């Protein structure tokens, strides 16, 4: 993509009311556009990153047998009344129609997925089943000050599973827990898992996946000597206590962002929708249900919070909007421009996704924008590099610079 054609431009400052670092950087670099508190549009650069995050999640959910769907986000109020959520869920957006009907905007999907599963899974032979989707959720959040980490409209991957028995549910629950660790590490993050109460969803246990960052809204304590981690809100543990798991170190306190969770929903929703299936002996039984969320946009915001410096974003390769940022410093020399154009075509022919800064602006502006946008590899073509017979390669994360012969570029980028 030629940067001269990219319709977003970088900006010097973020909107004054934007306090979160993730949104400040993403807005300044042109990834997202703020519509109002808690609501953002995703621009071409932002959609590239979000889509790559979603694809990582999709691969890991498919690997545990999840089947992707796209369920409705405009919900009939009847379903929410049937579970008590209409009056019980404080963040639910309710809509009145001119035909005097009432609707809810999906804040979670149990009210839709349970009747769907009831229709298709009528026998033990149809179980277990796990269905998921990746899409928009709407919540009437009281505070929306964390940029894309807490939106009123935001992205979520939500999966729901139905099982014949508690044992089978627990088998799958552990599988998803492992898949979640893969998702977060592929996104360049270190996630810790806490065991926490299911809160409003159920009284059963759940796991919360936490990434340490001051931008997070959760307070946790964790142990450096083992994997122990607990949410302060629900556990009695506090900073300085001896780790209850390994006894080897004292617990440390930190702020963290909950990027995902897995819940044991028991039979709450099958009860509400009278969902039974036939057992092999002919008797009817209610399935055990689990739900598994990942905040896709919160995950993107968390990556920015954790992987950025004072110049801008430092995307991990796995979710970066482009593999490389090609920059031409022509100083008005047509030969240099032609050389950069040629390199751009070569990269495209090799299916390497590259952002090509072909704009007629000062070198300093190009470099500052490249630092802000945060693509992992920068390739510079200039009078100097041409005289040395190569291309300058700069790593955004390490700051290291080197000269590579043009013949070695493709190999360097696909490595």
Contact between 104 and ligand ATP per CB under 6 A: no
Cα–Cα distance between 146 and 155 in angstroms, integer?
14
Q: Check binding of 139 to ligand ATP (CB under 6 A).
A: yes
Among 3, 108, 235, 382, binds ligand ATP (CB under 6 A): 108
Q: Closer to ligand ATP by CB, 193 or 394: give it.
A: 193
Told to check if 260 binds ligand ATP by CB under 6 A, we report yes
Smallest distance, Å, CB 65 to ligand ATP? 20
Report in angstroms how near the CB of residue 213 gets to ligand ATP at its nearest.
13
372 token code pair: 């802000």
Classify residue 282 by its DSSP letter. Answer: S
Q: Does 22 bind ligand ATP (CB under 6 A)?
A: no
The nearer residue to ligand ATP, 66 or 293, going by C-beta atoms, is: 293
In the complex, the smallest distance separating the C-beta of residue 385 from ligand ATP, rounded to whole angstroms, is 43
Q: Is 298 in the site for ligand ATP (CB under 6 A)?
A: yes
Residue 260 CB, nearest distance to ligand ATP (Å)?
Answer: 5
Spatial CB neighbours of 20, under 8 Å, sequence gap ≥ 6: 145, 146, 147, 148, 149, 215, 301
Q: Are strands 377-382 and 284-285 parallel, antiparallel or unpaired?
A: unpaired
Partnered with residue 260 across adjacent β-strands are 209, 294
Q: Least distance in Å: CB of 300 to ligand ATP?
A: 10
The residue behind tokens 């149809």 is 126
Yes or no: say if 301 and 239 are a contact pair by the CB < 8 Å rule.
no
Does 216 help bind ligand ATP (rule: CB under 6 A)?
no
Q: How far is CA 391 from CA 20, 32, 37, 358, 368, in A?
A: 37, 31, 43, 16, 19
Cβ count within 10 A of residue 58: 17
For ligand ATP, the closer of residues 114 and 330 by Cβ is: 114
Contact residue for ligand ATP among 128, 270, 287, 295 (CB under 6 A): 295
Minimum CB distance to ligand ATP, residue 49 (Å): 15
Closest C-alpha to 172, from 65, 259, 57:
65
Q: Which residue is nearest to ligand ATP (CB)?
A: 295
Among the listed residues 22, 77, 133, 297, the single contact to ligand ATP using CB under 6 A: 297
Where helices occur in 43-165 by DSSP H, the ranges are: 44-63, 77-83, 85-88, 110-120
Q: 173, 134, 139: which is closest to 292 by C-alpha? A: 173
Among 293, 321, 374, 390, binds ligand ATP (CB under 6 A): 293
Confirm if 289 and 273 have CB atoms less than 8 A apart: no
183 belongs to the binding site for ligand ATP (CB under 6 A): no
Q: Is 151 in the site for ligand ATP (CB under 6 A)?
A: yes
Whichever of 290 and 390 has its CB closer to ligand ATP, that residue is 290
Closest CA to 139 of 108, 174, 169, 162: 108
| Member of 25, 53, 156, 329 binding ligand ATP (CB under 6 A) | 156
44: tokens are 């071409």
Closest to ligand ATP by CB, 130 or 243: 130
Residues numbered 191-210 forming contacts with ligand ATP, rule: CB under 6 A: none
Residues that bind ligand ATP (CB under 6 A): 108, 139, 141, 150-151, 154, 156, 258-261, 293, 295, 297-298
């Amino acid at each position: 993509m030629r940067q001269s054609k990219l319709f977003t431009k970088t900006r010097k400052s973020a909107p004054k009311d934007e306090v979160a670092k993730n949104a400040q950087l993403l807005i300044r670099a042109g990834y997202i556009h703020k519509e109002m508190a808690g609501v953002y549009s995703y621009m071409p650069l932002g959609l590239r990153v979000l889509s790559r995050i979603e694809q990582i999640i999709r691969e890991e959910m498919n690997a545990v047998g999840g089947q992707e769907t796209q369920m409705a986000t405009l919900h009939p109020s009847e379903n929410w009344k049937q579970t008590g959520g209409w009056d019980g869920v404080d963040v639910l957006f309710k809509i009145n129609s001119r035909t005097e009907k009432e609707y809810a905007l999906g804040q979670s999907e149990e009210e839709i997925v349970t009747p769907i599963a009831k229709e298709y899974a009528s026998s033990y032979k149809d179980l277990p089943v796990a269905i998921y989707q990746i899409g928009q959720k709407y919540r009437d959040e009281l505070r929306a000050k964390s940029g894309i980490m807490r939106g009123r409209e935001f992205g979520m991957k939500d999966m729901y599973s139905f099982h014949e028995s508690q044992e089978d549910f627990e088998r799958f629950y552990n599988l998803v827990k492992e898949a979640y660790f893969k998702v977060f590490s592929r996104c360049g993050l270190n996630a810790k898992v806490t065991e926490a109460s299911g809160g409003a969803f159920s009284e059963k246990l759940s796991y919360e996946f936490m990434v340490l960052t001051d931008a997070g809204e959760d307070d946790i304590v964790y142990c450096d000597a083992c994997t122990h981690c607990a949410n302060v809100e629900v556990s009695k543990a506090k900073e300085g206590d001896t780790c209850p798991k390994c006894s080897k170190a004292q617990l440390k306190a930190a702020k963290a962002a909950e990027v995902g969770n897995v819940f044991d929903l028991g039979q709450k929703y099958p009860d509400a929708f009278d969902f039974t299936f036939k057992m092999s002996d002919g008797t009817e039984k209610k399935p055990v249900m689990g739900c598994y969320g990942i905040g896709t946009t919160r995950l993107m915001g968390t990556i920015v919070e954790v992987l950025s410096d004072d110049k801008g974003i430092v995307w991990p390769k796995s979710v970066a909007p482009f593999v490389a940022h090609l920059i031409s410093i022509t100083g008005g020399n047509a030969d240099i421009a032609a050389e950069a154009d040629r390199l751009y075509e070569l990269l495209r022919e090799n299916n390497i996704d590259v952002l090509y800064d072909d704009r007629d602006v000062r070198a300093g502006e190009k470099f500052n924008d490249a630092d802000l946008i945060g693509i992992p590899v920068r390739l510079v073509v200039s009078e100097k590099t041409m005289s040395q017979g190569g291309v300058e390669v700069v790593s955004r994360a390490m700051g290291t610079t080197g000269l590579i012969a043009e013949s070695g570029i493709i190999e360097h980028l696909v490595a």
